[in-house]
């Protein structure tokens, strides 16, 4: 009985759809819309810096201690070892 | 002459009473056997053989009388200090020469107070008084007691001058005492430099004659004095003297460093950088050649090479120069003479044909002694060469630091928008700090022997900013 009812319902719908005339749908968009970016709010963590300025890096000046002969102990001892 | 002596020795050997006595002593069991043998060998002129028996006696017995002490002093002069330097030998006060050996041994072990006591016991009449005064100067120098050290170096100089005058007929002795006195003078100059008295130090160096063997080593030390006095032109002039053909054997890696450093102090950065780059290209090859020579010289046969000119032909000229420099060292020279004399003595001993086992032992001892001396000389040469390579690398590292410093200074100028005055004249006589008592000539590319070591550059310091700093508004 249920099956007969379902078949009759389906045949009715097909007959109705075949008989219906296609309606033309026209979609219209807004021609002008204004956004206030300042009012926009993004929720979540910020991943980029807020500005694009570059800070000057502190310049490190390493002074190399240059050798300047101040003493002669090595040569004095060498001379002694070089005696007969 | 050598063959005549050998002939006399061999023909008279059988009836030689000294040899017979030595053989008799050798057979005896007496405790003093060794010193008796040493005496007879000494009388026979076998000094190296005698020194071995003397050394044995000192190790086993220790006590000697004045005559034996005199023999040992003589052996010390004829064969060198080796036989008395052994640790097991405890020298007494029988001879003042022993005090010198004792002091020398203690100083080598850095036992300064004990060495001082031993060396101060020598008086002006003693043979090694001059050497002892120098050694005392060294002890005080190493302890930074400069005034005391200067006093002893002065005593050394005065004594060597006196002894030199007394040894008119002995050229080698005159040369030896000359060198000893000059070494004491150089030590005085070094101490004055360490005290900051650079101008007096330079005067001391200038008293050493240019004909002296040790004069070339004063060039670098004088150059450092001028550097400390901020007379960079003179410092450059001193170091350039080492490039004279006559001083070709005295090239020095430290001279290149000092030259680059002096240029950098005058802000002549391009000149300094050019010296640095030349150093790397020049000394890299030299160090490599020397390293190959050391690695490929088998069985430490440096001594053979140094004695044979033909073996030196294939060597790099600069290795030949280094070997020449070693030959001029006093210690090496004395040791080499003893080594050759010991070989001659062995030839004489080999010609003795006597049945006693004494001669076999003497020959064995002397063969060992010659080997020891040869090894010692080879080691001296090797050490000298290795030290030179180390010196090349040490100065290479110093030049690397200097290179970094120059780059940093050049960067400073860029950061500050500054430039150095680079359009100045390269040489100007007015830049030379002249001594009013000295007449100056212009250098025209020729090295004159009497001028070497007295050069000065005439460069103007470039440490002035050429253009005013450019302001930010001007960009």
Query: What is the structure's pLDDT at B169?
Result: 73
When mean pLDDT is compared over B5-9, B181-185, B211-215, B452-456, the highest value belongs to B181-185
CA distance B30 to B14: 25
**Are the beta carbons of B331 and A77 separated by less than 8 Å?**
no
pLDDT at B10 over 60: no
CB neighbour list of residue B325: distance below 8 Å, 6 or more residues apart = B249, B250, B384
Q: Record the tokens describing residue A5, joined without a space.
A: 């009812």
Altogether, the residues listed in chain A come to a count of 84
Would you state the structure tokens that stand for residue A16, as one six-digit string? 């109705």
Chain A contact for B54 (CB, 8 A cutoff): no
Choice among A13-17, B218-222, B360-364, B390-394 with the minimum mean pLDDT: A13-17
Confidence of residue B86 (pLDDT cuts 50, 70, 90): confident
Chain B residues in contact with A60 (beta carbon < 8 A):
none
Q: What is the pLDDT of residue B113?
A: 95
d(CA B428, CA B461): 11
pLDDT the model gives residue A14: 56
Q: Which two tokens stand for residue B135?
A: 């050694």
Which two structure tokens, joined as six digits, stand for B166?
């007394």
Instruction: Decide: helix, strand or coil at residue B167.
Output: coil
Residue B416 neighbours by CB under 8 Å, 6+ apart = B469
Contacts of B398 in chain A (CB under 8 A): 66-67
Q: CA B224 → CA B237, B389, B407, distances in Å? A: 11, 22, 24
Residue pair B56/B37 in contact (Cβ under 8 Å)? The answer is: no
Closest residue to B334, CB basis, from A67, A73, A84: A84
Q: Mapping DSSP to helix (H, G, I), strand (E, B) and coil, where does residue B225 land?
A: helix
**Mutation target vs A (from B405, B409, B414, B416; most A CBs, 10 A cutoff):** B405
Q: With CB atoms and an 8 Å threshold, state whether A70 touches B194.
A: yes
Average pLDDT over residues A21-31: 83
DSSP tag of B455: -
pLDDT, residue A46, reads 63
Dihedral sign for Cα B93, B98, B99, B103, please. negative
* Calpha distance B169→B418 (Å, rounded): 69
Query: Do the Cβ atoms of A59 and B415 come within 8 Å?
Result: yes
Choose between A50 and B269: higher pLDDT: B269
CA angle B355, B361, B364 (to 5 degrees): 120
CB distance B398–A62 less than 8 Å? no
- What tokens does B108 get? 């080598």
Average pLDDT over residues B121-125: 93
Mean residue pLDDT of chain B comes to: 87
pLDDT > 80? residue A40: no
Q: Does B190 touch chain A (CB under 8 A)?
A: yes
Beta bridge partners of B465: B420
Per-residue confidence (pLDDT) for residue B225, from 0 to 100: 97
B188 interface with A at CB cutoff 8 Å: no
Provide the pLDDT confidence category of residue B436 given band limits of 50, 70 and 90. confident
Q: Does B154 touch chain A (CB under 8 A)?
A: no
Within B314-418, where are the H helices?
A: 317-327, 330-350, 357-415
Contact at 8 Å (CB) between B356 and B23?
Answer: yes
Question: CA of B27 to nearest chain A CA: how many angstroms apart?
Answer: 36
pLDDT at A13 over 60: no
Contact B227 A68 (CB under 8 A): yes
Residues 6+ apart with CB under 8 A from B273: B403, B406
Please give the torsion angle defined by the CA atoms of residues B349, B353, B354 and B357, in that order, rounded to the nearest 10 degrees.
Answer: 60
Q: Is B195 on the interface with A (CB under 8 A)?
A: no
**pLDDT above 70 coverage of chain B, percent:** 93
Return all residues near B157 (Cβ < 8 A) that are at least 6 apart: B181, B184, B185, B188
Q: Please tell me the least confidently modeled range out of B3-7, B109-113, B237-241, B369-373.
A: B3-7
Give the tens place of pLDDT for each residue, B400-427.
999 999 999 998 888 888 777 765 556 6
Please check the confidence at residue B40 and state whether its pLDDT lies above 80: yes
The more confident residue out of B97 and B13 is B97
Higher pLDDT, A83 or B141: B141
Nearest to B131 among A64, A65, A83 (CB): A83
SS3 letters across B331-358: HHHHHHHHHHHHHHHHHHHHCCCCCCHH
How much is the pLDDT for A11? 62
pLDDT in tens, B333-348: 999 999 999 999 999 9
Mutate to test the interface with A, among B189, B190, B339 (most CBs of A within 10 A): B190
Using a 10 angstrom Cβ sphere, with 0-12 exposed, 13-18 middle and 19 or more buried, the burial of residue B385 is: buried
Nearest to B187 among A63, A68, A76 (CB): A76
Residues in contact with B431: Cβ distance below 8 Å, sequence separation at least 6, in sequence order? B233, B457, B458, B459, B460
Out of A63, A69, A80, whose CB is closest to B224? A69
Report, as an integer, the average pLDDT of A9-24. Answer: 62
Q: Which residues of B touch A67 (CB under 8 A)?
A: 257, 398, 401
Put simply, whether B193 touches A (Cβ < 8 Å) is yes
Of A62, A66, A77, the CB nearest to B402: A66
For chains A and B, what is the number of CB pairs under 8 angstroms? 68
CB atoms within 10 A of CB B228: 15
Residue B473 has pLDDT above 50, yes or no: no
Q: What pLDDT was estimated at residue B475?
A: 35
A35 has a pLDDT exceeding 50: yes
Instruction: Give mean pLDDT, residues B119-147.
Output: 95
Q: Kindly determine whether residue B401 and residue A65, on different chains, have CB atoms separated by under 8 Å.
A: yes
**B135 shares contact with chain A (CB less than 8 Å):** yes
Nearest to B333 by CA among B222, B249, B213: B213
Q: By three-state DSSP, how is residue B420 classified?
A: strand
CB nearest A84 (choices: B194, B330, B404):
B330
Q: Is the pLDDT of residue B11 over 50?
A: no
Cα angle B408, B414, B420 (rounded to 5 degrees) comes to: 90
**What percentage of chain A reaches a pLDDT higher than 90?**
17
Q: How far apart are CA A10 and CA A27, in angstroms?
A: 32
Chain A nearest-CA distance from B441, in A, is 30
First to last CA, chain B: 92
State the pTM of this model. 0.80
User: Span B47-57, mean pLDDT?
Assistant: 94
Q: What is the pLDDT of residues B271-327, one digit of tens each?
A: 999 999 999 998 988 889 899 999 888 777 899 998 888 888 888 888 999 998 898
- CB-CB under 8 Å, B401 with A67: yes
User: CA B404 to CA A65: how far, in whole Å?
Assistant: 11
CB interface of B with A, residues 411-430, below 8 Å? 412, 415
- What residues form DSSP beta bridges with B420? B465
What pLDDT is recorded for position A10? 64
| DSSP at B430 | G
**Which B residues, 243 through 272, put their C-beta within 8 Å of a C-beta on chain A?**
254, 257, 261
Tell me, what's the pLDDT at B123? Answer: 93
> What integer pLDDT is reported at residue B309 of this predicted model?
83
pLDDT at B15: 61
- pLDDT at residue B269 greater than cutoff 90: yes
**How far is the alpha carbon of A79 from chain B, nearest alpha carbon, in Å?**
8
- Contacts of B103-111 with CB under 8 Å at 24 or more apart are B103/B132, B103/B135, B104/B135, B107/A80, B107/B135, B107/B138, B107/B139, B108/A81
Size (chain B), residues: 475
Range with the poorest average pLDDT among A5-9, B102-106, B379-383: A5-9
A70 interaction partners in chain B (CB closer than 8 Å): 194
Please tell me the distance from the alpha carbon of residue B373 to that of residue B332, in angstroms, as a whole number. Answer: 11
Report the distance separating Cα B282 and Cα B260, nearest Å: 15
Is the confidence at residue B74, as pLDDT, over 70? yes
User: For B254-267, how does the pLDDT look when each residue is reduced to its tens digit (9 = 90+)?
Assistant: 999 999 999 999 99
Residue A83 · residue B138 · CB < 8 Å = no
Out of B141, B224, B398, name the one closest to residue A76 (CB): B141
Among the ranges given (A23-32, A64-73, B421-430), the one the predictor scored with the smallest mean pLDDT:
B421-430
Q: Chain A: which residues have CB within 8 Å of chain B?
A: 59, 61-73, 75-77, 79-84
Q: How far apart are CA B73 and CA B267, in angstroms?
A: 59
Best of B331, B332, B336, B472 to disrupt the A interface by mutation (most A CBs within 10 Å)? B331
């Amino acid at each position: 009985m249920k099956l007969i009812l379902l078949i009759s319902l389906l045949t009715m719908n097909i007959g109705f759809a075949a008989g219906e005339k296609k309606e033309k749908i026209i979609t219209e968009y807004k021609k002008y819309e204004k956004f206030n970016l300042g009012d926009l709010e993004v929720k979540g963590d910020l991943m980029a810096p807020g500005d694009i300025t570059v800070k000057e890096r502190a310049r490190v000046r390493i002074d190399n201690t240059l050798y300047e002969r101040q003493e002669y102990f090595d040569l004095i001892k060498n001379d002694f070892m070089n005696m007969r | 002459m050598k063959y005549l002596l050998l002939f006399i020795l061999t023909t008279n050997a059988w009836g030689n009473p000294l040899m017979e006595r030595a053989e008799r002593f050798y057979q005896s069991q007496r405790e003093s056997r060794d010193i008796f043998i040493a005496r007879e060998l000494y009388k026979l002129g076998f000094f190296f053989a005698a020194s071995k028996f003397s050394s044995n006696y000192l190790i086993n017995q220790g006590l000697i009388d004045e005559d034996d002490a005199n023999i040992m002093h003589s052996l010390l002069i004829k064969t060198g200090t080796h036989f008395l330097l052994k640790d097991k030998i405890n020298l007494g006060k029988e001879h003042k020469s022993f005090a010198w050996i004792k002091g020398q041994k203690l100083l080598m072990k850095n036992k300064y107070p004990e060495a001082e006591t031993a060396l101060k016991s020598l008086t002006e009449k003693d043979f090694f008084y001059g050497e002892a005064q120098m050694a005392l100067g060294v002890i005080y120098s190493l302890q930074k007691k400069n005034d005391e050290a200067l006093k002893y170096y002065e005593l050394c100089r005065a004594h060597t001058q006196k002894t030199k005058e007394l040894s008119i007929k002995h050229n080698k002795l005159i040369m030896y005492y000359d060198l000893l006195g000059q070494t004491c003078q150089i030590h005085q100059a070094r101490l004055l430099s360490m005290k900051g008295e650079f101008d007096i130090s330079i005067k001391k160096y200038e008293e050493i004659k240019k004909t002296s063997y040790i004069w070339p080593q004063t060039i670098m030390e004088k150059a450092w004095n001028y550097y400390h006095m901020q007379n960079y032109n003179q410092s450059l002039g001193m170091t350039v003297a080492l490039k004279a053909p006559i001083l070709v054997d005295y090239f020095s890696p430290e001279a290149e460093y000092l030259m680059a450093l002096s240029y950098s102090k005058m802000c002549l950065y391009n000149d300094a950088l050019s010296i640095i780059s030349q150093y790397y290209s020049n000394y890299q090859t030299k160090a490599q050649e020397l390293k190959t020579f050391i690695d490929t010289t088998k069985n430490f046969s440096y001594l053979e090479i140094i004695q044979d000119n033909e073996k030196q032909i294939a060597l790099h000229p600069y290795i030949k120069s280094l070997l020449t420099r070693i030959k001029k060292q006093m210690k090496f020279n004395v040791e080499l003479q003893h080594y050759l004399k010991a070989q001659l003595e062995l030839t004489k001993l080999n010609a003795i044909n006597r049945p006693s086992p004494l001669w076999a032992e003497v020959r064995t001892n002397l063969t060992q002694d010659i080997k020891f001396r040869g090894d010692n000389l080879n080691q001296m040469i090797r050490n000298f060469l290795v030290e030179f390579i180390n010196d090349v690398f040490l100065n290479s590292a110093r030049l690397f630091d200097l290179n970094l410093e120059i780059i940093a200074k050049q960067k400073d100028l860029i950061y500050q928008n500054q430039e150095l005055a680079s359009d100045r004249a390269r040489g100007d006589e007015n830049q030379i700090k002249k001594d009013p008592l000295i007449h100056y000539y212009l250098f025209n590319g020729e090295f004159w022997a009497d001028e070497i070591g007295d050069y000065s550059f005439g460069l103007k310091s470039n440490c002035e900013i050429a253009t005013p700093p450019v302001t930010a508004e001007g960009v």
